[in-house]
Amino acid sequence: VRYILLKLNIPLEHIAIKTANINELKNVDLMSRDCQVRYIITVNALKEGWDCPFAYVLATLANKSSVVDVTQILGRVLRMPYTRKHSIELLNLSYVFTSSSHFQNTLSQVVEGLNKAGFSKRDYREFDLSAFEPEQAPAPSPAQEELNLTAETGEGQDFEIEKDKLNPDWEQQAVEQAAHVDAISTQQPAATGSDTTGVEALKAQAVDQAQQFEEQANATSGESCPEELKAHMNEHKMKPIFDELAKAIQLPQFFIKLPSDGGFFDIGDEWHKLAKENLLSNFVLANLDATINFTAIESDVYKVDAEEIGNGESAPSFTVVKKAEKEKLNSIIKSQPTSGQITSIVGRLFSLIGKNSFYPIEDNDVKHYLKRIVEAMNADQRADCLERDYAYVKLIKEKIQSLANEYAGKEFVNWLTTHKIKLRPSFSLPATIAPSDNAPAISKSLYVTEGSVNNLESKVIRGVAELENIVWWHRNLERGKGFVINGFLNHYPDFIVLTESKNIVVVETKGDDRDNSDSKEKLKLGKVWEAQANQIAHETGYRYHYMMVFESNPIDGAYTTGDVLKLIEAL
């Protein structure tokens, strides 16, 4: 397979083999931006316990007949961490190419299992090339006979391709077949122009089917939940009196224009919803401040273990490490030379932090940063770090996060100035909400029942609801469900309010009993959002306002409850 890829001018560094005997992925970080690997050749080694957000295409040459094997292999292109919906539809799909009848039949059993688990046929698409073969196919030429591959290894066994027996013209034949399929397909228009391979037609079909699924999903308006589950859900509909007006609103969010990088999925430069990871794309810890004050931290050391909780299940359990165990463990490290101690301590600290904990900051960058910290310690400090490693890790993580936040904030301002990011209408209010807990009945709520509120939030929103110029208000839902101001941090404000004069007011409340260490940053982001949103007011027809409310002692730019009610009343 590697030989075939090389013959197709695939660079050698783009190909890696991972089998039981050959492991070219050892010490390779597939999540790294510098990773060159694009093609992974494997037999069974990667069928379980491996996930990658960039694994989009699975080409299987094996005649798999085991449901478990097929399910695990299929999972390589289905289970992708750190992914989100892309504006490029091709990147919202996974692809499996197979020429095996056994694999196809087994895949049908997998689909049946998915159906029983609650999935439907709308969740996958199938494209069978064999279905488009002409009814009276001409007798195969010797070249075509040579292309046919058969396996004689018995049912359920994988077959191996003997590359020396492949027709040298196999690629051209595949191209002609794809073009033929495209020409007779009624699903998509015939390929035109420079599309000589049929790839564009397949891409067009994928996009069309994805759009069909999206339309079907949107048409359900949140009603796709199984009936047997609805009775157990805390679901509330938007009030019909506000339905048409509210559903037409799209709250602005920040977008970034990313350059095209070519390839199969490329459709040119596209605007993507901004994520903090974008702002950290060029962030490195090298040469940044590594000075941390480790005084006055907890003295206990903890160990983490899996604790049985019944029914064959377990949960993480934190236990204070006994002094004898701790001393035995640390004495081994203390007996090493200084260089060995540093290496061991760095390894322990990184294992406690975990891989990809600061994504997209690379793990190697984090390790080098940890090494700088430990190298600056004297013997007593290294010994103390061994005794209180969890407490040290907590402070180190806070330091790295602080540096990353500072960098992201600067990049955000710079990219706004250079128009690399901009605000666009985006977030639509859902037809139904399912809050964790319910708020008491307060007039002018957008939904029949809103999400729960604390004492300060209740005081503020009751005052807002009593104002004559208020059309409706909505308790914004928590992370992942509600409207987020997506800048150098993700800020989910507490309330969204609409006035009769088409002013949309976003309100964030801050009580005196809370840790308001991030209030200044949220206020700064909210005010930037307000200014940018009002620049597109002529497009949306609404004016936008961000207000932060304190129970008392507001920071600069924020308000007390009385002040904010007066401001909203005047809008």
DSSP per position, 184-196: H-SSSPPP-TT--
Which position has the higher pLDDT, 507 or 93? 507
Calpha distance 192→115 (Å, rounded): 38
Which position has the higher pLDDT, 219 or 91? 91
Q: What is the pLDDT of residue 356?
A: 85
How large is the average pLDDT for residues 239-262? 88
- Asked if 42 contacts 64 with a C-beta cutoff of 8 angstroms, the reply is no
The predicted model scores a pTM of 0.61
Q: Which helix (H) or strand (E) holds 426?
A: strand 421-428
Query: Band of the pLDDT at 252, cuts 50, 70, 90?
Result: very high
Q: What is the pLDDT of residue 375?
A: 93
Give residue 538's identity as a one-letter amino acid code.
Answer: H
Range with lowest mean pLDDT among 10-14, 127-131, 458-462: 127-131
Which position has the higher pLDDT, 127 or 520? 520
Q: What is the pLDDT of residue 134?
A: 45
Q: What is the pLDDT of residue 450?
A: 94
Range with lowest mean pLDDT among 61-70, 449-458, 478-487: 61-70
Calpha distance 397→394 (Å, rounded): 5
Range with lowest mean pLDDT among 118-122, 376-380, 481-485: 118-122
Q: What is the pLDDT of residues 380-418, one digit of tens each?
A: 888 888 888 888 999 999 999 999 999 999 999 999 999
How large is the average pLDDT for residues 212-228? 56
SS (H, E, C) 435-487: CCCECCCCCCECECCCECCCHHHHHHHHHHHCCCCEEEEEECCCCCCCCCEEC
Question: Which residues have CB under 8 Å from 69's CB, separation 6+?
Answer: 44, 47, 106
Q: 3-state class of 525 per DSSP?
A: helix
% of the chain at pLDDT higher than 90: 38
How large is the average pLDDT for residues 420-447? 92
Pairing of strands 503-510, 543-550: parallel
Q: Is the pLDDT of residue 293 over 60?
A: yes
Q: What is the pLDDT of residue 148?
A: 40
Question: Which residue bears the tokens 């940018």?
Answer: 532
SS (H, E, C) 94-128: CEEEECCHHHHHHHHHHHHHHHHCCCCHHHCCCCC
How large is the average pLDDT for residues 326-347? 77
Q: 3-state class of 214 per DSSP?
A: helix
Sign of the Cα torsion 386, 387, 390, 395 reads: negative
| Residue 307 β-bridge partners | 315
Calpha distance 64→43 (Å, rounded): 11
% of the chain at pLDDT higher than 70: 64
Q: Is the pLDDT of residue 50 over 70?
A: no
Query: Band of the pLDDT at 29, cuts 50, 70, 90?
Result: confident
Q: What is the pLDDT of residue 196?
A: 52
Q: What is the pLDDT of residue 198?
A: 62
407: tokens are 């960098």
Q: What is the pLDDT of residue 186?
A: 43
Q: 3-state class of 407 per DSSP?
A: helix
533: tokens are 């949103």
Query: Band of the pLDDT at 65, cuts 50, 70, 90?
Result: low
Calpha distance 79→446 (Å, rounded): 36
How large is the average pLDDT for residues 314-320? 54
- Taking alpha carbons only, the member of 361, 373, 260, 371 closest to residue 29 is 361
Which position has the higher pLDDT, 135 or 102? 102
Q: What is the pLDDT of residue 106?
A: 64
Query: Band of the pLDDT at 359, cuts 50, 70, 90?
Result: confident
- Asked if 523 contacts 488 with a C-beta cutoff of 8 angstroms, the reply is no
- Asked if 211 contacts 420 with a C-beta cutoff of 8 angstroms, the reply is no
Calpha distance 82→94 (Å, rounded): 15
Q: What is the pLDDT of residue 137?
A: 44
- Asked if 297 contacts 395 with a C-beta cutoff of 8 angstroms, the reply is yes
Question: Which residues have CB under 8 Å from 569's CB, separation 6+?
Answer: 467, 468, 469
Query: Band of the pLDDT at 64, cuts 50, 70, 90?
Result: low
Q: How many CB atoms lie within 10 A of CB 95?
A: 15
Question: Which residue bears the tokens 């224009």?
Answer: 257
Which position has the higher pLDDT, 276 or 123? 276
Q: What is the pLDDT of residue 544?
A: 98
Calpha distance 102→65 (Å, rounded): 5
Q: Is the pLDDT of residue 188 over 50?
A: no
Q: What is the pLDDT of residue 381?
A: 87
Q: How far apart are the first and last CA of the chain?
A: 68
Q: Is the pLDDT of residue 185 over 50?
A: no
Q: Is the pLDDT of residue 298 over 80?
A: no
CATH 3.40.1350 assigned to 429-569: yes
Q: What is the pLDDT of residue 332?
A: 67
Q: Is the pLDDT of residue 55 over 90?
A: no
Q: What is the pLDDT of residue 63?
A: 64
Range with lowest mean pLDDT among 200-204, 252-256, 329-333, 440-444: 329-333
Q: How many CB atoms lie within 10 A of CB 306?
A: 10
How large is the average pLDDT for residues 245-253? 95
Calpha distance 433→549 (Å, rounded): 25
Calpha distance 494→474 (Å, rounded): 9
Which position has the higher pLDDT, 440 or 198? 440
Question: What are the φ and ψ backbone dihedral angles of 19, each rounded to 5 degrees?
Answer: -130, -175
Q: Where are the domains of the chain?
A: 47-219, 302-412, 429-569
How large is the average pLDDT for residues 320-339? 65
Count how many residues are written for the chain: 571
Q: What is the pLDDT of residue 232?
A: 60
Q: Which residues of 36-70 are buried (b: 16+ CB within 10 A; e: fewer)?
A: ebeebbbbebbbeebebeebbebebbbbbbeeebb
How large is the average pLDDT for residues 522-527? 96
Q: What is the pLDDT of residue 165?
A: 47
Q: What is the pLDDT of residues 221-233, one digit of tens each?
A: 444 555 555 556 6
Calpha distance 415→422 (Å, rounded): 9
316: tokens are 């993480």
Q: Is the pLDDT of residue 274 over 70?
A: yes
Pairing of strands 485-486, 490-491: antiparallel
Query: Band of the pLDDT at 36, cuts 50, 70, 90?
Result: confident
Q: Is the pLDDT of residue 201 over 90?
A: no
Q: Is the pLDDT of residue 135 over 80?
A: no
Q: What is the pLDDT of residue 421?
A: 94
Which position has the higher pLDDT, 125 or 424? 424
Give the best-scoring range by mean pLDDT among 21-25, 240-244, 478-482.
240-244
241: tokens are 């009196």
Calpha distance 534→503 (Å, rounded): 10
How large is the average pLDDT for residues 420-428? 94
